[in-house]
Structure 1
Amino acid sequence: MEFSPANPVIKLCLQGMNMEDNGKPEEALTIFLQAFNEVTDDFEKFTAAHYVVRHQNTVVDKLRWLQTALQYALKVNDDAVNSAFPALYQHIARCYEQLGDADNAKKNNDLSASFAANPSDKGPFYHGTRADLQVGDMLTAGRLSNYHADVIMNHIYFTAMVNGAGFAAALAKGEGHERVYIVEPKGSYENDPNVTDKKFPGNPTRSYRTREPMKIIGEVTEWVRLSPEALQQFREKLANTKGEIIN
């Protein structure tokens, strides 16, 4: 499964989120329900249901949609969705708490904790940059951010999606060519908290970070590249982004 903002259902969800940002919850719900009715696979059903949940006015309705989202998430069985389970089970537990069902609340809290361990994703992993690196080189944390001036990064960021790494390379600072390296983490890693359970549930971009070194084990030269116009739009959006990154 490859997460893509070009996906028609994802596009609808983005439109719905824009309505939320503009203080139009009723219009947002209409778009999210449209998205749910136009889904073509379990991942899309899970994603759309996640947004419908946010606009339910009763605990019973919220629980029903949370269970719908969980039903489809379990069917997906993909690393892009697995990281959503801790929050999903936790929200379900809170609904049961409000309904006075202590047994089901505890059951779902326990499930939430069981899924909160290290990511299960085994790669292969990619790192996008403009740096000229060689097989065998080691990446280490403590370098300046590619996207935020004067920020020293405490982690190395990487992804299991080659197109995502290519996008990161295109946005990276520097005059060098866009490079996507195949990397091997030499220690533990975690979901990138800057994207996980933010705009989209879970970690659909399969983005991770580590404090440990990463070894360059290869390079890829083929990935889907965005148009110059689309890249410029993302650069402008990045420049106008408010708030600090979780470093």
Structure 2
Amino acid sequence: MNVATPEEQDPYPVSYERCDHVRGPFLHGTRAELAVGDELVTGHATHFQAGRVLHHVYFTTLVPTAAWGAQLACALSGVPGPGHIYVVEPAGPFEDDPNVTDKRFPGNPTRSYRTREPLRVVSELDDWEQHPPEAVQTMLDGLVRLRAEGRDVIYD
């Protein structure tokens, strides 16, 4: 996992009231094939928990973090390929993603955020490095373990 160095981390939590200082580009990794101008909106099922509909749309400023989103979405849904990473623009305020911020990592080293507002697709990132298959399998095995232990919690 590629995480922000202490110098790159924001010393203050990002909240709906305080997010204007965070600069993109903003990225969203997914299995979905989208076009410029499409909007990612809430209300879709997550790949991480069967039957769970999300109230937020998630994004990052780091390519490796977006790659995890794309690759895991494909692997969890049985779609072949690495998925897609899109450059997106948030239509409104956003906050740190509590699923990784402070719950799993101090601060926000994965530069992960969430919003209730749409994300508009600006372009697709064509040249990005995939995580190795064994790393993806390790993540999938970890998710299975978390589910078995009842710790696959999504704070949404």
TM surpasses 0.5: yes
Aligned to 1:143: 44
Aligned to 1:167: 68
Larger RCO, structure (CA 8 Å, separation 6 or more): 2
Determine what percentage of the aligned residue pairs are the same residue: 41
Aligned to 1:245: 154
Aligned to 1:106: none
**Is residue 188 of structure 1 aligned with residue 93 of structure 2?**
yes
CA positional deviation for 1:3 = 1.5
Q: CA RMSD in A?
A: 2.2
Q: How many matched pairs?
A: 146
Q: Which has the higher strand share?
A: 2
Aligned to 1:130: 31
Once the two structures are superposed, what CA deviation does each residue of 1:72-108 show, in whole Å capped at 9, x if it has no partner?
xxxx2x3x23246x9xxxxxxxxxxxxxxxxxxxxxx
CA positional deviation for 1:230 = 1.2
Q: Distance in 2 between matches of 1:174 and 1:152?
A: 19
Structure (1 or 2) with the larger CA radius of gyration: 1
TM-score of the pair, normalised by structure 2 = 0.84
Are the counterparts in 2 of residues 131 and 176 from structure 1 also a CA contact under 8 Å? no
Q: Which runs of 5+ in 1 are unaligned?
A: 5-41, 44-75, 87-114
Once the two structures are superposed, what CA deviation does each residue of 1:140-183 show, in whole Å capped at 9, x if it has no partner?
10000021111100000000011210111000024154100000
Aligned to 1:157: 58
CA positional deviation for 1:185 = 0.4
Query: What amino acid maps onto 2:110 in structure 1?
Result: T
Q: Which runs of 5+ in 2 are unaligned?
A: none
CA positional deviation for 1:212 = 0.5
Residue 226 of structure 1: which of 124, 131, 150 is its match?
131
